Amino acid sequence: MFTFLGCFSSGQVLAAQKKKAKTMAELAARYDSSSCQECHEEIYEQWENSLHARPLYGTGRTAPTIITAIEKGLKRFPYSGVKDIKDIKVKHLMICAKCHLPQLDEATDDVAREIVETLYTWKKALQEGDDDLADEMEEKLNSLNIGCLVCHQKKAIIHPWVDGPVDPKAVYGKDEYEHEFEEYPMVKKAPALGESIFCGQCHGLGPNFELEHPSQCATLYGSYLYAYIPEGGHESCQDCHMKKSGLGHDMQAYRDETMIKMALDVDVDAMSYFWRKNKKEGVIPLAVVNVEIFNKAGHVIPDG
């Protein structure tokens, strides 16, 4: 069967059917996964420690990078329509939010501006040493996250023409069964949940040509698909990042010690010697250091 990543996912169709959220709090409530914790405590605790739990803040680098995209990108693009943060709309933020907050397509432009205002308030608070306000803004940013309902519902069906559209009254997993939860009484099967293409929806192929203004940031799946697989690689993202790592739903970036050990072989060879430079400066200690780094990962490093 021939399948492909189409221009419109089932999640996008679902977003078009939903009433637009008008505030960050409303959007956060729509995708609040805290109720999952009662039955899936271990998985939830893993997720809480992951970067998916703080996609707008990240390791502390994501938030300022989004601000940079606004200041050095949107405000400088002559036809973006953005001269001030009050001009920001959802379509502008989607160059980042397509991956960092895909549910933003279910929100009004007011929510996009509220997110940006929160980012700038966080930055100013840090600069002024107001730690309490900075922490408050960080917490507000992290209320919007890539939680259970993003992966196990909104993004669960990649090929709706084959597998049917997303059922808003269900959550998705590897099998179908009754779900003891009133709001989502059924677990339905997401055929691609354990395959790399599922992760490729965000950790992408390169330019997001479906956006009004394509951006090229996440190229991880493209690297995996066009470099690792042709060389005989056969493991999926989930195989390495969830199973072999032992991290489960605690998704981490390339700076995590566990991921570094899995992804890289580093060989260092050093030789010291003394060099008599001249009569005035005398003998100078020097060293020759050779460092070889071998990438064992199924994709380029670093990347998103």
Taking the domains of the chain in order of start, what are their residue ranges? 10-158+192-197, 219-304
What is the spatial distance between Cα 207 and Cα 271, in angstroms, rounded to a whole number? 45
Confidence of residue 206 (pLDDT cuts 50, 70, 90): confident
Q: Find the helix or strand (DSSP H, E) in which 276 lies.
A: strand 264-278
pLDDT digits (tens, 9 = 90+) for 225-251: 999 999 999 999 999 999 999 999 999
Phi, psi dihedral angles at 237 (to 5 degrees): -55, -45
Peptide bond into 230 cis (omega under 30): no
Beta carbons of 284 and 277 less than 8 angstroms apart = yes
Beta carbons of 172 and 189 less than 8 angstroms apart = yes
What is the spatial distance between Cα 252 and Cα 47, in angstroms, rounded to a whole number? 10
What is the spatial distance between Cα 225 and Cα 259, in angstroms, rounded to a whole number? 20
In the chain, at which residue ranges do the beta strands (DSSP E only) sit?
A: 170-173, 177-178, 186-189, 264-278, 282-295
Determine the pLDDT at residue 205.
Answer: 87
Determine the pLDDT at residue 136.
Answer: 98
Residues 115-124: what's their mean pLDDT? 98
Residues 191-216: what's their mean pLDDT? 92
Classify residue 64 by burial, with Cβ atoms within 10 Å: 0-12, 13-18, 19+: middle
Q: Find the helix or strand (DSSP H, E) in which 292 lies.
A: strand 282-295
Phi, psi dihedral angles at 106 (to 5 degrees): -105, 20
Determine the pLDDT at residue 7.
Answer: 47
What is the spatial distance between Cα 81 and Cα 298, in angstroms, rounded to a whole number? 39
Closest alpha carbon to 118 in 142, 97, 137:
137
Determine the pLDDT at residue 303.
Answer: 67
What pTM, to 2 d.p., does this model score?
A: 0.87
Beta carbons of 111 and 21 less than 8 angstroms apart = yes
